[in-house]
Amino acid sequence: MQTTVGVLALQGDVREHVHALENVGARAVPVRRTSELDAVDALVIPGGESTTIDKLLRAFELFEPVRQRLRAGMPAYGSCAGMILLADRVIGGIEGQQTLGGIDVTVRRNAFGRQVDSFESDLSVDGVEGPLHAVFIRAPWVEEVGPAASVVGRVEGGPAAGRIVAVRQGPLLASSFHPEVTGDTRVHRLFVEIVRES
């Protein structure tokens, strides 16, 4: 049976994720309501603005349903703002900002600072063969990793060398960067493999 992956379509670069998922052979559908969430095997949470996505999740009455699916083991991949939403803890959030949680990490929003607000860098990610060209746009980094989560990618050069930018916990994967904007589908392929295994 073909794997159906939802892309949370409240805000952010939804179309790019849909294309990347289709390119690696998954069926990709936008998710804006609970009936659509119920029909997917897994969920991608795109980049955008985590504070806005958080508010819209609650406005669309999706916050609790998504959280429950995550708790029940639904695989999910979050890029950038999506990584913030999948993190158990966030530093630098706005007043009242909540995350869906699931990955035992603390992320820092807009972590790279003004000078390196947006940048590109080659790095490697466990489970992806060869170097990956990573695009960071006002990205978070992972400041602290709890025992349940694993680091799968770090910045490899420049002023932010060593910073953790990709993590995994079971069927949950998150990256600070945006693989959906480069036309390189290897991270989506890795995620779809994780979905099929689980």
Beta pairing class for 164-169 and 150-154 = antiparallel
Q: How many residues would you count in the chain?
A: 198
Active site residue 49: no
120 carries an active-site annotation:
no
Q: Is 180 a catalytic residue?
A: yes
Shortest Cβ distance from residue 137 to ligand GLN (Å)?
Answer: 4
In whole angstroms, give the CA distance from residue 179 to residue 106: 21
Please report, as a single letter, which amino acid is at residue 68: Q
Q: Which of residues 104-163 bind ligand GLN (CB under 6 A)?
A: 109-110, 137-138
Verify binding: residue 55, ligand GLN, rule CB under 6 A.
Answer: no
Measuring CA to CA, which residue among 163, 84, 81 is closest to residue 116?
163
Nearest to ligand GLN of 41, 77 (CB atom): 77
List the one residue out of 38, 51, 40, 41 whose CA is nearest residue 12.
Answer: 51
Near ligand GLN by CB under 6 A, which window of 16-24, 26-34, 43-51, 65-73? 43-51
Catalytic residues: 80, 178, 180
Residues of the shown chain interacting with ligand GLN in the complex, contacts defined by CB under 6 A: 47-50, 80-81, 84, 109-110, 137-138
